[in-house]
């Protein structure tokens, strides 16, 4: 009889510890909440990196195709000035 009472007491003690541990676990901030606190800085860096890549590609295209770009620009200007009619 004393053994059963001790076992029941131990079960009650372990159940209480498990419930307290579960309460502690659920009261901790979630990993998602921790990453959400760092997101604004991370997002800013991602946008700056994307901007650097796009600006670098635009600069490379301008260097590689500057003659064609200027030719197209002057063609459009010539059509506007001449109303689209070559003389």
- The string of pLDDT tens digits covering residues 22-60 is 877 777 776 666 665 555 667 888 999 999 999 999 999
pTM exceeds cut of 0.75: no
Residues 18 and 25 sit within 8 Å (Cβ to Cβ): no
- The residue extents of the domains of the chain are 2-81
- The string of pLDDT tens digits covering residues 3-31 is 666 667 778 888 888 778 787 777 777 66
Q: Provide the percentage of residues in the chain whose pLDDT is more than 90.
A: 31
Residue 4 C-beta-side C-alpha neighbours within 13 Å = 1
- What secondary structure letter does DSSP report for 81? H
- What secondary structure letter does DSSP report for 9? H
Residue 70 to residue 20: CA distance in whole angstroms: 74
The label of the residue with tokens 């901790």 reads 28
């Amino acid at each position: 009889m004393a053994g059963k009472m001790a076992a029941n007491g131990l079960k009650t003690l372990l159940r209480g510890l498990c419930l307290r541990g579960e309460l502690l676990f659920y009261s901790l901030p979630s990993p998602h909440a921790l990453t959400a606190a760092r997101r604004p800085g991370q997002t800013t860096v991602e946008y700056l990196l994307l901007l650097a890549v796009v600006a670098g590609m635009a600069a490379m295209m301008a260097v590689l195709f500057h003659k064609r770009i200027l030719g197209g620009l002057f063609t459009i200007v010539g059509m506007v000035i001449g109303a689209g009619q070559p003389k």
